[in-house]
Structures are given as C-alpha cells and as structure tokens.
A and B are shown apart, each in its own frame.
Chain A
C-alpha cells in the first residue's frame, strides 16, 4: 500500500467517523427530549400502580396448641404468635448472618400459675391484651431491638409490659368480662368492657409518670350502663375520646373525654334497608372515621360532618367489597387510611378510603377465622395457619389515584367534597391532600389574564410594525421590543411583587381609567392629525404615528394616575380597596391576578409580537399589491388579505405565548400570594403548577407520594406545553409551505 493510499484511507475513515459522531450528536437532541419524558413517567408511574402481595417466608411452627394472635416486627425479620397455652414464640423469618430462617428466637410464657386465657385482643399499635377467664387482663407489647453488627441488621425480640406484669382486674368487683376494647397513650389506658352481669363499664388507668418508662398507675372505675347486653362490636378511638358500640345494627357513640360522666354522644343506624346487618366494625386510622362491614358485602365509611348548626354522623362513601358474601372482619392499617376487608371464606380486599381506591383483591385466607395481622409499616402481612406465613405488600402510594387528583374528594372533617391542595402541615396525623385541580386552575387563570393583557398589544404592535412601519424605523423598533424577551423573569417578578402590586393597590382606579383613556387618546390624536393642515402632515407623515402618539399616551398615563385619588374620592368613598372588600364583598389580595396578568403579559408580549410580525411580514408582496391595485384601502387589504393569509401564523404565535405563560415560574411565584384557591376573581391570587413545584420540591422527601405528585405536576406542564408547541410548530410548517407555493 502506498503512502498516499493510506492517507486517502485515513481521510475516508475520518470522514465516516465524523458522520457517525455528528449523527449521534443530532439524534441526542431527540434522545434528550425522550429522556426527560421517560424519566418523568418513570418517577410518576409508581403512584398509579395497584398493590401487590407476595409470600416471602413460611415458617413451620412446632407447637401444637392453637394460636390466638400473630404479629411481625417493623423490618419483617421476626414473626411471632401467642398460643392458647400462654406462650409467645418468636421466629426468624429470613436467614441472615446470625440466624437461620425458621429459627425459634425466643419463647416466653405470659401467664402466671393457674391462669387461663379467654381471649387475646390485638390493638393496631402492636399491643396485645390477654384477657383471662377470671376477668383480669395483662397488656404486653413485643418490642424489637435493632442492632447493626458489621453492616448487617439483627433484630432481637423482648417483651415489654406497659401496665406492669401483674394482671389487672377490669371491674372494681372483679366480675368476669364478656367483651372489651382497649386503647392507651403514654398517660392513660382506657378499657370499655361488658361484664357477665350485663354492666357496661369504663376503666381508666392513669399513669403516675409515663407508661413508656414507668408502669405505676391509679385506676378509676365507672359504670356507663346496666342491663346492657348483646353488643356485637365495640371499639375505642386511639385518642381515647370516643367509644363506638354496635348493638343490633344500632350504633351508639359514647363520649369518654369527660372524666366523671360517660355520656351518650350520638346514635344512628348506618344501614339503608332492614334486611342487611352490620357484620363487622373497625376504626380507621386517625380517630375520625368508623367503618362498618355489612352482610351484603359492603364496607361503609362514616364520620362526623359539621352541618348548618350541629355536627352529625354521616355516611361518606361505601365500598362494594363482595357481591355474594358478608364482610366479617375489617383490619385497618395503623398510620394510613387503608383497610383490609375479609369475607367468611377468606377473600380479602384492600382499599384506601380517601381515594376510594380498590388496591388489591383475592383469596388470601382459608376463612375469616384465620389469624391475620398487618406489619407496623403496612408493608407486610402475617397469617397463621399451621405455619406462620409472612407476606410482602407493595403498596407505597394508596392515597393517589387519578380520580383523587382530578375530582372532588371528601376529606375527614370537611363539610363536603372539595378540591384541595395541602401537602404538609404541622401535625403528625395529618392527611395530605393532593388535588391538582386548584393549581392547574391557577395555571390557566394566570395564563388567561396574561393573554388578555398581552394579545391585543402584541398583535396590534406586530401588525403596525410589519405592515405600516417604514423599514428604517422597523429596524430599531423590532429589536427593542424583542429585548424584553431577554429580560430575566425574576426581575419582572420582583418588580411586579414589590413595585407594581403596591402601586396598583394605591392607584386601582387608574388601571381602569387607563383601559378607557389609552384608546380614546389614540383616536383623538389620530383625528386631530387627520384634520391638521397638509404642511404639517408632510413634516410628520402618518408612518411616524407611534412617535406622534408617544407624548400623548404618556400624558394619558400621567393623567390617569393623577386623577386616581379624585376618582376614588368621588366614586368609591376614598378607598377603592375598602370599597371592593366591604361594599362588593370581594376578597382583595395585594398580589392578585391583575398584577400577574400585567407582569406575565410583559413576558409574553415579545414572544407573540415577534412571531406575529414574522408571519405578517412574510405574506407575499404580490398579494397585497394585487389587492391595493384593485382599489382596496390599506386597512381593507390588511384585514381581508394579509391577516387572513397570516392567520395560522398568528394562531401559532398565540399558542407559543400561551405555552410560555403556562410554564412561567418566577413571575407567579413572586407576584401572587401562592394560595391554591379556585376563584376567577381578578383581585385574588392563585398558585400555579410551576410555582407549586418551585415552592414544595426542595422540601419533599425523595420517593414519597408528595415527591411523585410534584413530578406529575411537572409532567402535566410538560404535556401542556408539548401540545401547544407542537401544534404551533405544525401550523407554522404548513404556513411556510403555503407561502412558498404562493
């Protein structure tokens, strides 16, 4: 091979490499856009997935006696059960460095000599109350110490007795207990029980210090009712304020808040027709909602609603959990508003109340008698058969469904269903409310007011610049207006928030005066010019109209502001703001839609102006010449020929402007109060999707529902603008083809 051939070869290789490299670079643009799209989808997707339940461990249990309660630790490493001979046994669920799977970690008896278990009651905060046949109880709380040995987590079980190791008689007279319910916090433990001699009693144990550290307490006994029988369901709210009792389909709610007197607070019957029965009852997390399972397979959610003048229990929603069977067991989750509904033959449905979501359905149990418990973090289940089955539950975002985001939702404590965005609050048992409606509404409202302001000015300016203005003038005017596009929006926002908002508040009538005065001044100036002698007209041709108008419009603006206090005095009793709030009853925010409309209008004027101007300017000259030759006036030609031809271009300009207004962040962030309300009023603020992201994103926990919803908000914005931009670009390409064929 000769040297020159090799050089040619090398050049060819270089050429090919360059081709590949540049093609890759070109395609990377598309790749970037697709990557953004896919990544947003990837983050958002998990919130709309329904739950999955999968077995992870099955522990053979050696003890033959019957299990009365089951449970599992937070890490799902250790499962345990309490048997009717009074033992609690802990088993390792998964193999790790220190323990084999199925290994019996600890076994301990929970009974003293001679005691016999009658029943074990499990609360959903991992407490187990062992009721003995003699009417006394012992409360136990399995606790798990987590330690790290060489980066491996080990869980060691122990038993904690929050109320002491001695059994406590529930009744002052040590009567035998038929039925009871229990709830406690660190200061107080409350039992409501039905004794064998048909007394309904309440027993409070008041801690001397704190039950977490010291089990010393003093007891208080009260009788709520005598001759009470046939209770079918009984529960105490975790805040220890209410006891709910179901008796022959009638629900009674007792107020436990008063130390001396347990009063009947409310009574109702939650059933519609008399042929059905209440077959189960449970309290939803958060102490407000009561769930009733019925014999016709429904689960009803009730809570107290503030009415006109009183509070009243009301059915909020119902879930069709089974078509054929009754709902005999309901297991609520500890921290979330989810519950598991069980039918007699073991079908289980998983629901989330607020979002009305059915998350999972299937046969999980052999029958409703099978013991079943939800793991403390609601990410697992444990079921007792002849083995201990541990299952994984993948159910991260039950509160988010498409309908909960876009439709009205009836939240606990609200008088009616509503669109609410409220992602965080100070209190712990707060339920996040993720309705994208108010902020999407805010986005559209802000964009609409901005367009109302920008479109007339931008399009009229573009018409004049493209069609009437002499070329020399156009050369300076166009870049000047386009310069506005380069202004950082943070500066527009800052001026809107700190300069314009107070100014408009002080000179509110001036704004409305300006809307009238500016066009009127323009017309008057025009007419005056029309009537001036020819000599002057020659010196100042009509093509200088914008310059002629300049002093007059500035004067009109000055006059409006000067007259503003006078107008306020004459028409609005000295203060227009007061007048709007007091006489018209309209809320007035200082940073309102008017301010946003003007500020964001400024931001989109150059976009619309520039594209409209291009569209009008590039209308082929022979069209206009033809029209003018046929005797049409300039204006007629403009309206009938030029604007008509350019109308797709103007449309796409408006679309682009709208896209920009929808996505604008800093202006709305700084020029509105950022309150997520749905209200068209021009004097009220709003919160937009983009501002919402900017405000809340830095504080949201990675991977949480909140984080993903904010990504969804970004995705919605992306889709909004994608539609506007693609439509605009499509129309523009069509127009370009049309022009070239003309």
Chain B
C-alpha cells in the first residue's frame, strides 16, 4: 500500500497517462496508413476463386462461385430462426461472396452462412473474366469460337492480344481523330457566329466556312467507315462460358478485358499480375460510372490543376514572404499582415470555394465571356467552373503555406550575408536576387511542395469551382490551343467522395475507393516527407553556418 502511495505521489501515473496519449496517436496514424495500404493493395492481388456446394434448409442443392470478400462472425441466434442447424455453436461464420455475373443476378454480392456449405473447392479451371460492361464474370470456359468455328482453349491468349490491339486502335480513332474533327466543327460554328455578331459575315466567308465544314464531314465519313470496319473485326471471336447455376452464356471477346485462371497462377505469376493491375489502374480510363477500371483522367486532372496552381502561388507567396521578412518594418501594419496570413491559413477551405465560385467563376469569368466569347453565349466558356478557376482558388488557399515556409527560410539566412553583399556595393534588389533567393531556394521548394500536397488533397472548394465526376475530355489535348483552361476536370480526392458515396453500388466500388485513397495518400505522404527532409537538411546547413 505504501508502495502504491509513493508511486502515486511521484506523479508517475500522470506521466504514463500522457505517454498513453503519444502511443494512441502513433497507433492511430500508423494504423490508418496500414488500413488504407492493406485494403488498397489487396484490390490488385489476384484472389483465389472458390466454388461452394450449398444445401439450404429445404435440402435443395446449389453452387456458388466467386471471391471471398469478407468474413464475419455472428451470434448463432441471428441465423437459428431461419431454420439453419448450427450444431450447438454459439457463433457462426458467414462469408460475403462476390459472385459477379450481373446479367444473371441483380446483386454482385451474397452472404452465405458456413453451416450451409457442404463442400468448398478451388477448381483449377475456374476463371474470372473482366468485362467492359456488367462487371466480372465467374465461371468455366466451355468453348472458344474463332469466326464461328470452335477452336481449342489455348488460342484464347492470341485472340485476346488481337482484341486488345484492335480496341486500342478504335480508342485512338474515336478519341483523337474523330474528337479533333468534332472540335474543328465546333470552332467553325463559333467563328461563323462571331462574324455574324460583328457584322462581318460576307458570302465569301460563309462559302469558305461551308467548304471547310464539308471537307471535315468527308474526313469524318472516311474515319467512320474505318471505325465500323474495326468494330466488325473486333467482334470476330467469342467464348461460351458456364456460370455457377449451370447457365451457358456467350461472351463476345470485344467485351472482354482480361481472362484469368486465378487458381492456376503461381506466386510469380500472381505478382506479375498484381503489378500489371496497378499499372492498369493508373493508366486506364474509368468504366461503369467510375466504379471499375482506372483513374487516369483523375490523376491527370489533379496533376494539371496542381501545376497550374503552383505557377500562380509560387511567385505570389515568395514575393509576399520577401516583403514580410526583408522590407516590412516592425510596425502595426506588419502585424496586421501577419494576422492576415494566419487567417488566410485558417479560413475553412469551403469558404474559398464559395468565394471562387462567386468571384472568379461568375464575376470574372462571366465578364470574360461577355468581352471575349460573345459568340458562344449563352453557353458559358469561362463563366462556368473550370480548371483555371480551381487553380486560382487553391492558389489563394495554399498561399500562406508558401509564405510561412519561405519566411522561415529567409529567417535562417545569417544577417552577415546580407551585410556582406550590401557592403560590397550591391543594391538591395541585387542582394535579394543574387544572394538571398538562391540560398533560400530549398525553403521555397519546401513551401511549394507542401502547397502541392495540400492542394492535391483538398476537395471541398473544388466541388464548387470545377471538379466533375466524369469529364468527357482532358483539359490538355492535341487540339489547338492544346491547354483548355476553361474545361472541367476530374480529381482523385473528389473521385474518392464520388465513387464512395454517390455511386449506385457502393459495396462493389469500395475496393476501388481504397485503391484510389492509397494512391492519393502515397502521393501526399511522399510529397510531405520530401518537404520535411529538405527542410531538415536546410536547418542542419544553417546551424553550421551560424557558428
């Protein structure tokens, strides 16, 4: 007892409790990252395919084929009332099985209870087929047809390679060539309208526009014939598959993206497939209302918007930091400026979104439309949310990050360096440009990297000023003027929100959301670590300079 009392008096329990706070924080950070990583990575790993022989309470036999998605232990009471014999167990397991085959059953998923499973096998010839529509198919391949003739199964790989090539060609034709023609046609329409508004629409002009239009339409027709030919080609082969209920279904290879005998794969093949799946995820277009496929447009949109933002925020932030540190006196106005910087950092991001929408989009953008794009009114050009306005809004949002970091860098430069330069006759501007800025550049880099990391993860303001769930075209393409600042774009963070919360089948989309989250977290954590390590190296460097 005395011991306990002494222990208590020493204050040690409180110290340990505060240590508990550290432990808890560390557990949560690391746990969170591990949670995202494990869930995100398992999305790419080819999982085992299972076949369950089931007998239900009425003695009816059935087969369920699919991937095991989740296992839960539930109190037996929850299932006893349905007549299932749990053999006296208090808890039973149940599995969430992804059964796919959306054309046969409405639900991709079903729960099965362990006591009803008679036999669980992993047949070698069980196959998962990733398709362009209707999600995955699980079953057995019965027959392969080439142009209507049955051939052996081993030909399938060749056929798939051929289909892939053709699909690439079709995609190229549709997106690039036909897209360019449509874009040109729209530009001619706008030119005509502009000439009409300015009263310069002469018959010669009309004739020339008409000729151009006609030429484009001819080109289009040629491309279309080509396209139709390719489409016919790609539909040549098909396979007959058998689903878990015994139904035989014909799948045209045109629909198929990937055929995989997961149970036959060894660890090396699985690893190869794992990485190729990651590659697909990063470089492919999304499918099925974003719930499947890749996230390339979202990555592209995020990167482009962030780059634009950097171009805007870097000079603004650096100049403001230089003013605060090198020019501003120690007076009330400077104090006010510092409070402004702190407040800019503290204002909720959604407020920037509201400001961006009202000021940039409707006020500035609306005015730009009136002045420069009257030909396309009433449909707005810059007067609607877009990538430029998003970049500007986020530039204001991240401005304090750059200012604070740059100023810290400036503060670490010993005064002796400034004095030396000035004593040698350099003006203040020259000192800044030749001495201070080069030395402070790692700090500026740190600020910019932190700003990028912040901007890449920010979603709320973007929902108002330019992000969309599905952008038909990228803001950067092969059509003049190549960079389309007025276009809307896709964003990784918004992708997470949209797919996770707005999609019709959240359960099916969840792995993809984890994968996207993992991607985003990886980018942001990497950026932050880079920034922190640059900053630490910088601090070490100046610590040695000071002495």
Chain A interface residues (CB < 8 Å from chain B): 11-12, 14-15, 17-19, 21-23, 25-30, 32-33, 35-36, 39-40, 43, 456-465, 468-469, 477, 479-481, 483-484, 486-491, 493-495, 497-499, 518-519, 522-523, 525-527, 529-531, 542, 545-547, 549-550, 553-554, 557, 565, 569, 574, 602, 605, 609, 633-636, 638-639, 656, 659-660, 662-666, 669-670, 690, 693-694, 697-698, 702, 710-711, 714, 717-718, 721-722, 724-726, 728-730, 733
Known A494-B497, A494-B517, A526-B15; further 8 A-B contacts with Cβ < 8 A: A30-B337, A488-B493, A494-B500, A518-B20, A545-B16, A549-B19, A574-B77, A662-B348
Q: Which of B29, B433, B457, B510 meets A489, CB within 8 Å?
A: B457
Q: Contact: A22 with B427, CB < 8 Å?
A: no
Does B153 sit at the interface, judged by CB under 8 A? no
Bound complex: CA of A546 vs CA of B347, how far in Å? 35
Chain A nearest CB, measured from B204 CB (Å): 24
Contacts of B354 in A (CB 8 A): 40, 693, 697, 710-711, 714
Does B432 sit at the interface, judged by CB under 8 A? yes
Residue of B nearest to A473 (CB): B22
Q: Contact: B320 with A522, CB < 8 Å?
A: no
Q: Contact: A546 with B23, CB < 8 Å?
A: yes
Contacts of B91 in A (CB 8 A): 565
Q: Contact: A12 with B341, CB < 8 Å?
A: no
Q: How large is the interface on B (under 10, 10 to 19, 20 to 34, 35 or more residues)?
A: 35 or more
Bound complex: CA of A276 vs CA of B164, how far in Å? 89
Contacts of A542 in B (CB 8 A): 12, 15
Does B251 sit at the interface, judged by CB under 8 A? no
Bound complex: CA of A177 vs CA of B128, how far in Å? 83
Chain A nearest CB, measured from B87 CB (Å): 19
Residue of B nearest to A39 (CB): B359
Residue of B nearest to A465 (CB): B22
Contacts of A718 in B (CB 8 A): 347-348, 351
Bound complex: CA of A148 vs CA of B358, how far in Å? 30
Does B96 sit at the interface, judged by CB under 8 A? no
Does B453 sit at the interface, judged by CB under 8 A? yes
Bound complex: CA of A711 vs CA of B362, how far in Å? 14
Offer 20 A-B interface pairs, CB within 8 angstroms, sorted by A.
Answer: A14-B430, A15-B429, A22-B323, A26-B319, A36-B352, A36-B396, A483-B525, A484-B29, A487-B32, A488-B458, A522-B17, A553-B27, A574-B77, A633-B10, A634-B11, A663-B348, A717-B351, A721-B343, A726-B339, A729-B343
Q: Contact: B399 with A32, CB < 8 Å?
A: yes
Q: Contact: B521 with A491, CB < 8 Å?
A: yes
Contacts of B328 in A (CB 8 A): 26
What sequence of 0s and 1s flags, for each residue 293-330 of chain B, a beta carbon within 8 Å of any chain A beta carbon?
Answer: 00000000000000000000001100110111011100
Contacts of B336 in A (CB 8 A): 30
Does B25 sit at the interface, judged by CB under 8 A? yes
Bound complex: CA of A483 vs CA of B25, how far in Å? 11
What sequence of 0s and 1s flags, for each residue 1-45 of chain B, a beta carbon within 8 Å of any chain A beta carbon?
Answer: 001100100111111111111111111111010011000000000
Q: Contact: B327 with A23, CB < 8 Å?
A: yes
Q: Contact: B3 with A456, CB < 8 Å?
A: no
Chain A nearest CB, measured from B361 CB (Å): 10
Q: Which of A486, A518, A609 meets B525, CB within 8 Å?
A: A486
Q: Which of A462, A693, A726 meets B343, CB within 8 Å?
A: A726
Chain B nearest CB, measured from A572 CB (Å): 12
Q: Contact: B339 with A663, CB < 8 Å?
A: no
Contacts of A481 in B (CB 8 A): 22, 25-26, 29
Q: Contact: B7 with A527, CB < 8 Å?
A: yes
Q: Contact: B75 with A565, CB < 8 Å?
A: yes
Chain A nearest CB, measured from B1 CB (Å): 12
Bound complex: CA of A664 vs CA of B21, how far in Å? 23
Q: Contact: B460 with A33, CB < 8 Å?
A: no
Contacts of B403 in A (CB 8 A): 29
Q: Contact: B16 with A483, CB < 8 Å?
A: no
Does B528 sit at the interface, judged by CB under 8 A? yes
Q: Contact: B23 with A549, CB < 8 Å?
A: yes
Chain A nearest CB, measured from B293 CB (Å): 19
Q: Contact: B10 with A635, CB < 8 Å?
A: yes
Contacts of A487 in B (CB 8 A): 32, 457, 521, 524
Chain B interface residues (CB < 8 Å from chain A): 3-4, 7, 10-30, 32, 35-36, 75, 77, 91, 315-316, 319-320, 322-324, 326-328, 335-355, 357-359, 362, 396, 399, 403, 427-430, 432-433, 453-454, 456-460, 463-464, 493-494, 496-497, 500-501, 506, 510, 513, 517, 520-521, 524-525, 528, 532
Bound complex: CA of A728 vs CA of B513, how far in Å? 37
Contacts of A490 in B (CB 8 A): 457, 459, 493-494, 496-497, 520
Q: Which of A22, A28, A33, A717 meets B322, CB within 8 Å?
A: A22
Contacts of B433 in A (CB 8 A): 18
Residue of B nearest to A529 (CB): B16
Contacts of B10 in A (CB 8 A): 633, 635
Q: Contact: B343 with A33, CB < 8 Å?
A: yes
Chain B nearest CB, measured from A203 CB (Å): 47
The answer to whether A663 and B349 touch (CB under 8 A), given A21-B319, A522-B17, A726-B343, is: yes
Contacts of A29 in B (CB 8 A): 320, 337, 340-341, 344, 399, 403
Bound complex: CA of A550 vs CA of B30, how far in Å? 12
Q: Which of A495, A523, A733 meets B13, CB within 8 Å?
A: A523
The answer to whether A479 and B532 touch (CB under 8 A), given A635-B11, A636-B11, A663-B348, is: yes
Chain B nearest CB, measured from A491 CB (Å): 5
Bound complex: CA of A21 vs CA of B520, how far in Å? 37
Q: Contact: A546 with B339, CB < 8 Å?
A: no
Q: Contact: B25 with A609, CB < 8 Å?
A: yes
Contacts of A663 in B (CB 8 A): 346-351
Bound complex: CA of A469 vs CA of B22, how far in Å? 10
Contacts of B26 in A (CB 8 A): 477, 480-481, 546, 550
Chain A nearest CB, measured from B203 CB (Å): 21
Q: Which of B315, B338, B353, B497 meets A493, CB within 8 Å?
A: B497
Contacts of B525 in A (CB 8 A): 483, 486
Contacts of A710 in B (CB 8 A): 354
Nearest 10 pairs between A and B by C-beta?
A: A663-B348, A635-B11, A26-B323, A488-B457, A25-B319, A460-B21, A526-B16, A545-B19, A18-B429, A461-B21
Chain A nearest CB, measured from B228 CB (Å): 39
Residue of B nearest to A547 (CB): B23
Q: Contact: B4 with A527, CB < 8 Å?
A: yes
Residue of A nearest to B16 (CB): A526
Q: Which of B32, B342, B350, B429 has the most CB of A within 10 A?
A: B350
Contacts of A721 in B (CB 8 A): 343, 346-348, 351
Chain B nearest CB, measured from A576 CB (Å): 13
Residue of B nearest to A729 (CB): B342
Q: Contact: A666 with B460, CB < 8 Å?
A: yes
Residue of B nearest to A35 (CB): B359
Q: Which of A490, A693, A717 has the most CB of B within 10 A?
A: A490
Chain A nearest CB, measured from B271 CB (Å): 27
Residue of B nearest to A485 (CB): B528
Q: Contact: B428 with A19, CB < 8 Å?
A: yes
Q: Which of B12, B319, B350 meets A693, CB within 8 Å?
A: B350
Contacts of A483 in B (CB 8 A): 29, 525, 528
Contacts of A549 in B (CB 8 A): 16, 19-20, 23
Contacts of B524 in A (CB 8 A): 486-488
Contacts of A35 in B (CB 8 A): 359
Chain B nearest CB, measured from A650 CB (Å): 13
Chain A nearest CB, measured from B291 CB (Å): 14
Q: Contact: A457 with B25, CB < 8 Å?
A: yes
Residue of B nearest to A655 (CB): B346
Chain A nearest CB, measured from B180 CB (Å): 31
Q: Which of B18, B27, B324, B396 meets A468, CB within 8 Å?
A: B18
Contacts of B326 in A (CB 8 A): 22
Chain A nearest CB, measured from B3 CB (Å): 7
Contacts of B17 in A (CB 8 A): 460, 519, 522-523, 526
Bound complex: CA of A636 vs CA of B463, how far in Å? 51
Contacts of B342 in A (CB 8 A): 725-726, 728-729
Contacts of A484 in B (CB 8 A): 25, 28-29, 32
